Chain A
Amino acid sequence: MIQRDENRYAGAKLGIWLFLFTEILLFGGLFLLYAAYLSQYPHEFASAGHEMQLAFGFANTLVLITSSMLAAMSLTAVQLREQRKALIMLGATIFCAIIFLVNKYFEWSSEINSGFYPNSPRLATGPMGEALYFSLYYLTTGLHGLHVLIGIVLLTLVSVKVSHGTIHAGNYVLLENSALYWHLVDLIWIFIFPLYYLVL
């Protein structure tokens, strides 16, 4: 019966890739709505897009790409049996993730203070498409933020396992899969950033 280590590893990798497909499809629904409403309200989307603060989005993109790199470095460190270095890299990844959420908090607060939130009086009186833009913006970045939060929990659990030595050079598939998940969170942001901040 096929229960050898090599096969367990391949099975776990297949499993996480299938899961990542489902995550892409989950966000795909929101991107689909974005496409449909952009074609229906191009001008309103453009004017709403100009209200976004590019600095927040840019900073978050940098933080997230860096964190993705750190996650990959921690995997290499585990493979090279450098446990301490791996833990530092994982800690740095989690730190970046927290920075991302803090930054997001300030960004959302500033937008809510300016009166841009679903069902707000300012959007209710404005053109129809702008309200849809902000609804989609909050839903997409909110769902993405939730994934960042889940990533923080996941990476913390993995750090504990690395420090206990349960994840080591002979068995690192959980760390590798968590890093893949983290890369996906990064990747989805790479689509969110241009769609909401740059192209309009």
Chain B
Amino acid sequence: MRHRRTTSDTVFLVFVYAFLGALSLASLLPLMQAITISLSPPEVVNSYGFHLIPTRFDFAGFERVIHYDTIWTAYGNTIVRTLLGTAITLVMTFLGAYPLSKRTLPNRKLWTGIVVLTMFFSGGMIPAYLLIKNIGIMNSIWALVLPGAVSAFMLLIVRNFIMALPESLEESAKIDGANDIVILFRIVLPLSLPIIATVGLYAGVGHWNAWFDSMIYIQDERKQVLQMILRKILLEGQDVSAESGSGVHAQAVNSETVKMAALVVSVLPILFVYPFLQKYFVKGTLMGSVKG
């Protein structure tokens, strides 16, 4: 039963709705601006400045981006990296979490401790760089997918999740004559799907957005990832037309339009899958936060 609202409550509620509405708008505005600029002809961009809905559509920016080979090579590299990296992360995280969830594992505390310690102390940027250099995986995709393959935090979350599964399930399977491998594939893995999805999503988005490792470990431009090429176009102000070479075309299209077109092209996959993935992320974040 709701009590009657007082005037001050009403004023407060109006404030709440107005504030949250303004905040949502502020979250979206920069993205909307980027999309609008990417679709506008340069004259409009320069003379009107900020506007939410494109007044005139012009796909010249996207055309330029589409003909820029380096972006597509980088796109491919990012896709390969995301798939390979996510697969490695999933397999390794599970390989670590499953045994550590078993009370019967010898020296379980010691092994867990070794993993947990890495959450609180690390060598830092320079020793990590020298390590990659020394073990000879510089300039290869392995330098991008291996160093961050298993996060201690994720491993603990998966471990806690498996530990929370009812033990009786495994016991009854054992009585029915199933061995450890059968139990793992027929019982534990199917039940762990939600947490596996969560780890996969985090790893996937992480790989899609990563650029720093590509910047320091990859020298060959053909092996660079998408974010790195985008960084060059957006932030280092490199001219995309260097590739196509024709100065006439380069002057015809405002570079802001090209910049924003490249930006939009790189976020399109995330914008498309985001509405579907969002609820899994939310669930996963909560699963991880239940226990410290």
Chain B associates with chain A: no
